[in-house]
A and B are shown apart, each in its own frame.
Chain A
Amino acid sequence: MTELIVENVQKWLGGLQILKGASFTATRGSIVALLGASGSGKTTLLRCIAGLEQPEIGKIVIGGKTVLNGEAKLALPPEQRNIGLVFQSYALWPHRTVRDNVGYGLKLRGVNGDETAKRVQAILDRMGLGHLADRFPSQLSGGQQQRVAICRALVYEPRVLLLDEPLSNLDAKLREEARYWIRKLILDLEICAILVTHDQGEALAAADNILLLQDGRIVQEGAPHEIYTNPNSFYSADFLGANNIVNGKIERVDGGIAVFGGNGWTLGGTVRGGGPVSAGSDARAVIRVEQIAVSDQPAPDAIEMELDDSIYLGDKWEYRLRRGDFAARAHGTRKMEPGKVYARIPAESVWVFPNGA
């Protein structure tokens, strides 16, 4: 069931166009991640959905109710949108206890005292915060504050839960744990959630659907696996994963297959990102680090490269490879001595983008 429809939302701030026509939909029981570099407009888009910013153009429907319609000059204030928003800073009210923070939304909705107490206790217990109900926010750890903020936004069962970088203030260990339980919670409660993040790992692990934002536009949309393995632009390909970026020239094109090379090397690749490609034009290729297999034994489909160094990373080794002006990183399980090595780089993993794509 579609809970959220965002249509062609455009927003100007301080004379600059921050959102340039964002459209997407989100359904119940799923998580949509808004992923993008810092400054790409994720927070602004989220705030437009929440009603904290009013876009000049566009339409937003939450749970079947039109909350924004630029043409009709209709814009419902945040309190009439039936949403829950978890702020990056958590924004817990310092003068209220955990119980009063969480219960506020119910109080505003006219739920009576007993019922409120019951529901607040239930959600706090569920998050393992039951014993903290009488504390003030300043007496909680960052992780606890974050869970209280989520309780506060969920307790009145909003149609859409919006989360703005909810994990960015947690330390790395807590973060991986949190993205797992947040996902589980949202799926259990069968609500619709929009998760803003600049962390690709978070988006890939937690979301059902990822919207990749660039400069106020959604440049690609898809399931995590889809968006990771099938990027449609250089930006998408480069934004996700750990990558080698290679500059060179297209030597030959044959359908989707190209021969791509530079000073003293050539690689087979696949042409991506639309646009006409012609032999002789400059291009860039993206090769995911994990797609390069390095061996000290020659193989027919491997190219010979120079290994400059092996760097120990703890769980693996990183190899610094070079051939002419082609430099690359690759991973392996053991230390290799500098010198000649052989790298297997499958053509379908060399994504060639004509310059400008």
Chain B
Amino acid sequence: MSPDNQAAARVAVAPPSHAFVPAPKTPKVANAGLFRVIVIGLLAIAVLAPVGLIVYQSFLNAPFFSARAKLSLDAYAYVLNDPSFYKALGTTAMFAFGMVAVAVPLGGILAFLITRTDIRFKRTLEVLVLVPMFISSIVLAFGYTVSIGPTGFLSLFVRDIIGFVPWNIYNLPGMIVIAGLSHVPHVYLYVSAAMKNLPSDLEEAARTSGANIWQVSRDVTLPMVLPSLIFAASLNILLGFETFGIPLVLGDPNGIMVLTTYIYKLTTLFGTPTYQLMAVVAMVLVLITIPLVWMQRRLLRNSRRYAALGGKGARVSTLKLGRGGQITALSVIALWLFVSVGLPVGGITVRAFVNAWGEGVNLFSQLTFANFDGLLEVPSLVRGMINTMILSVVGGALAVGIYLLIGLAGHRNNGISNTVLDYIVLLPRALPGLIVGLAFFWVFLFIPLLTPLRPTLISLFVAYVVVGLSYGLRLLQGTLIQVAPELEESARTTGATIGRTWRDVVIPIVRPGLAGAWALIMIIFLREYATGVYLMGAGTEVIGSLMVSLLQTGAMSTIAALALISIIMTGAGLALALRLGARIHD
């Protein structure tokens, strides 16, 4: 069954008009079925238990462990009557859509320049433009604070010259621009993938009919990649609704709240825990994000179909930019990179090595290692660094193993269990890390058997696995699907069971891909900060979440040192990933 004759026949053959078509019931082949049921069942529990607990908690009038907790709608009544909830909701929506308005056009332009033109330094740029994606948004936001915040290095420098600071990032537009710039890679990734599959003869035909490069991109390229742009937009709206770090750092000081920071503030609103209120807000958030995830799934399926039609015999040749074009294009990219990577990372680097600065202070005379020495003196910070390393390096490897098992459970599985799997992996995508962490915190409190595990890294690990599920699974499914079906089928006809085939054929063939996946998951776990906010405790600190709690105390020097360490770890992870040949692009 070569794919081309299948395609031909699908087009040619009319829908069946037979009078009698019995329901195609396939006799069951008992093979690997048990494995699939167990793996998918366990996954379902791991995902549904925390979600179920949120739903349950939202219908109680007190924290679930409280003796006076009973079913009620009080929490809904409170939240839905709270004006600041509506304010946060409105802000979240503006934030999300604003972010899309910044990220999508920029990401699209970047993708066009890098995939469809002969821009210089293409190989390097392909990696560089993805960098903001790998830095956690709490680090980025903090970086902007110290570089272009009211007393940031660059702000002071500019004020020295012109007498005032012409920008303010501590308001909604500032947050939107910063979030938009840092989400450009998420757009670039999908749009460039679509553009790579576009046969270039379509563009060449337009050029030879007399269109210039901008007319070509507007009239030919843009309509062809529209599905991927729409997909990227919906993905970014989702990410916008889930963002926590940027609003926390930049919005909170001025009382600008989004839903995630509203939840975070609720914790500390009263003296007692207000789990029921947090659960209600989480419900609202999830009710918004689930339809978005659902829509994306449909979009993705359609765009795949669309890509399959084009792709054939695609030969990609590039449009010539010319000298002026090269300079313009490279300047745009350089400016974007400066603003979205250079500014925050540079700011953090400087801030990590100084203690005092201000007008008229020479930074070079202030250079010091005191901030790092300070880190080493606080046991919780040292543990945070060690735990972060363990979770990302060891936990990342374990997570790849788990994702591999899940991937295999869904591999060439056409049964009901695969449909279940399909839907289960959608759920975590709709859940911000903050809420997953919160929900797992509750799970570990709620189930007596699990309570002893709560103060261990295992609790964080489980939550991280769920948070990374959709990314990690996609990574592994992408690797598994590259094993040609005949290679597996030939093992089967030679006499191997499905399990044997996985062990002897599939896993050995995908092994190189697993190493790359490990490096990428490692980065994801390294940069995670929201999941641990509620879940970490004494002994299970992680760098990202430590930064969140340190923000409340204003220990800027410590945060700067931690942020720099986090950036260096991420850089090392990225270098490892590239070395291992990880497929960063999708």
Binding site for B on A (CB under 8 A): 12, 14-17, 38-39, 43-44, 47, 50-52, 54, 56-57, 68, 70, 73-79, 81-85, 87-89, 91-95, 104-105, 108-109, 149, 152-153, 156, 162
- The residue on B at minimum CB distance from A156 is B495
Judge whether B493 and A50 touch: CB under 8 Å: yes
- Expressed in whole angstroms, the minimum distance between the Cβ of A73 and any Cβ of chain B is 4
Provide the residues of chain B in CB contact with A54, threshold 8 Å: 26-27, 29
- Expressed in whole angstroms, the minimum distance between the Cβ of B255 and any Cβ of chain A is 57
Judge whether A17 and B494 touch: CB under 8 Å: no
Bound-state CA distance A156–B496 (Å) is 13
Judge whether A108 and B5 touch: CB under 8 Å: no
Interface residues of B in 1-41 (CB under 8 A from A): 1-2, 5, 8-10, 13, 15-16, 18, 21-22, 24-31
Q: Count the A-B residue pairs with Cβ separation under 8 angstroms: how many?
A: 108
- Expressed in whole angstroms, the minimum distance between the Cβ of A52 and any Cβ of chain B is 5
Judge whether A93 and B487 touch: CB under 8 Å: yes
Asked if B491 is an interface residue, CB under 8 A from chain A, the answer is yes
- Expressed in whole angstroms, the minimum distance between the Cβ of B86 and any Cβ of chain A is 49
Bound-state CA distance A43–B3 (Å) is 12
Provide the residues of chain B in CB contact with A153, threshold 8 Å: 493-494
- Expressed in whole angstroms, the minimum distance between the Cβ of B397 and any Cβ of chain A is 21
In the complex, 27 of the A-B residue pairs with CB atoms within 8 angstroms, ordered by the A residue number, are A12-B21, A15-B15, A38-B5, A39-B9, A44-B1, A51-B493, A54-B27, A56-B25, A70-B27, A73-B25, A73-B28, A74-B27, A76-B29, A77-B29, A77-B498, A79-B497, A79-B500, A85-B490, A85-B493, A89-B484, A91-B487, A91-B489, A94-B487, A94-B509, A95-B508, A104-B494, A108-B496
- The residue on A at minimum CB distance from B492 is A78
- The residue on A at minimum CB distance from B1 is A43
Judge whether A104 and B493 touch: CB under 8 Å: no
Asked if B486 is an interface residue, CB under 8 A from chain A, the answer is yes
Bound-state CA distance A153–B10 (Å) is 32
- Expressed in whole angstroms, the minimum distance between the Cβ of A216 and any Cβ of chain B is 11
Judge whether A89 and B495 touch: CB under 8 Å: no
Provide the residues of chain B in CB contact with A47, threshold 8 Å: 1
Judge whether B493 and A78 touch: CB under 8 Å: yes
Asked if B504 is an interface residue, CB under 8 A from chain A, the answer is yes
Closest 5 CB pairs of A and B: A91-B486, A75-B27, A85-B493, A78-B492, A91-B490
Judge whether A73 and B1 touch: CB under 8 Å: no
- Expressed in whole angstroms, the minimum distance between the Cβ of A106 and any Cβ of chain B is 9
- The residue on A at minimum CB distance from B20 is A17
- The residue on B at minimum CB distance from A43 is B1
Bound-state CA distance A111–B489 (Å) is 22
Provide the residues of chain A in CB contact with B30, threshold 8 Å: 77
Q: Check A79/B16 contact, CB under 8 A, given A17-B21, A54-B29, A87-B486.
A: no
Asked if B556 is an interface residue, CB under 8 A from chain A, the answer is no
- Expressed in whole angstroms, the minimum distance between the Cβ of A89 and any Cβ of chain B is 6
Judge whether B489 and A52 touch: CB under 8 Å: yes
Asked if B505 is an interface residue, CB under 8 A from chain A, the answer is yes
Provide the residues of chain A in CB contact with B497, threshold 8 Å: 77, 79
Q: Check A95/B494 contact, CB under 8 A, given A17-B21, A39-B9, A70-B27.
A: no
Bound-state CA distance A82–B26 (Å) is 21
- Could you list 5 further interchain pairs (A-B, Cβ under 8 angstroms) beyond the known A85-B489, A87-B490? A68-B27, A75-B28, A77-B30, A91-B489, A104-B494
Bound-state CA distance A51–B449 (Å) is 45
Interface residues of B in 383-440 (CB under 8 A from A): none
Most A Cβ at <10 Å: residue of B8, B489, B494, B498: B494
Q: Check A91/B509 contact, CB under 8 A, given A52-B492, A77-B497, A108-B500.
A: no
Could you say which of A14, A57, A75, A87 contacts B22, with CB atoms under 8 Å apart?
A: A57
Bound-state CA distance A52–B31 (Å) is 13
Bound-state CA distance A109–B508 (Å) is 21
Bound-state CA distance A51–B490 (Å) is 11
Interface residues of B in 267-325 (CB under 8 A from A): none
Provide the residues of chain A in CB contact with B491, threshold 8 Å: 93, 104
Bound-state CA distance A85–B495 (Å) is 11
Provide the residues of chain B in CB contact with A51, threshold 8 Å: 29, 492-493
Could you say which of A52, A56, A57 contacts B493, with CB atoms under 8 Å apart?
A: A52
Judge whether A109 and B495 touch: CB under 8 Å: yes
Judge whether B22 and A78 touch: CB under 8 Å: no
Provide the residues of chain A in CB contact with B495, threshold 8 Å: 79, 82, 105, 108-109, 156
B458-502 vs A, CB cutoff 8 Å, 1 = contact: the mask equals 000000000000000000000000001011011111111110100
- Expressed in whole angstroms, the minimum distance between the Cβ of A193 and any Cβ of chain B is 14
- The residue on B at minimum CB distance from A12 is B24
- The residue on B at minimum CB distance from A104 is B494
Judge whether A152 and B8 touch: CB under 8 Å: no
Judge whether B493 and A84 touch: CB under 8 Å: yes
Provide the residues of chain A in CB contact with B496, threshold 8 Å: 79, 104, 108
Provide the residues of chain B in CB contact with A94, threshold 8 Å: 487, 509
Could you say which of A12, A14, A93 contacts B505, with CB atoms under 8 Å apart?
A: A93
Bound-state CA distance A85–B493 (Å) is 6
- Expressed in whole angstroms, the minimum distance between the Cβ of B116 and any Cβ of chain A is 33
Provide the residues of chain A in CB contact with B5, threshold 8 Å: 38-39
- Expressed in whole angstroms, the minimum distance between the Cβ of B11 and any Cβ of chain A is 11
Provide the residues of chain B in CB contact with A156, threshold 8 Å: 494-495
- The residue on B at minimum CB distance from A14 is B10
Bound-state CA distance A12–B493 (Å) is 22
- The residue on B at minimum CB distance from A155 is B494
- Expressed in whole angstroms, the minimum distance between the Cβ of B459 and any Cβ of chain A is 38
Q: Check A84/B494 contact, CB under 8 A, given A38-B5, A57-B22.
A: yes
- The residue on A at minimum CB distance from B15 is A15
Q: Check A87/B27 contact, CB under 8 A, given A15-B15, A109-B495, A156-B495.
A: no
